[in-house]
Amino acid sequence: AQSVTQLGSHVSVSEGALVLLRCNYSSSVPPYLFWYVQYPNQGLQLLLKYTSAATLVKGINGFEAEFKKSETSFHLTKPSAHMSDAAEYFCAVTSNDYKLSFGAGTTVTVRA
């Protein structure tokens, strides 16, 4: 069985501030982990993925995430928020090779 927990359904940050979105997973086998972003009325766009290579993963738009096995975490960060980062973010895990299990999502608002 596999599952993901995203802590915080809403995060509000000031423009230029650090963005930190938390994701913890459970998996009975080594997981692959993903962060997707969803802009209003659009589908999901991949930000980055962890596939058991480097534990620090860099993605698009300045985002990165670190896989910490001891903490079963895969938190997403961006050093400096931009207005265009306002969106909903989903963490997902797969360990059975195809079925993605998603967290509940975190909505990010960016204050000017």
Nearer to other proteins, 34 or 110 (CB): 34
SS3 for the chain, per residue? Answer: CEEEEEECCEEEEECCCCEEEEEEEEECCCCEEEEEEECCCCCEEEEEEECCCCCEEECHHHCEEEEEHHHCEEEEEECCCCHHHCEEEEEEEECCCCCCEECCCEEEEEEC
Question: Is residue 27 near other proteins by the rule CB under 8 A?
Answer: no
* Minimal distance, residue 10 CB to other proteins, in Å: 15
Map the footprint of other proteins across residues 81-100, applying CB under 8 A.
90, 92, 94, 97-100
Check residue 42 for interaction with other proteins (CB under 8 A).
yes
For other proteins, the binding residues (CB under 8 A) are 32, 34, 36, 41-46, 49, 51, 90, 92, 94, 97-105
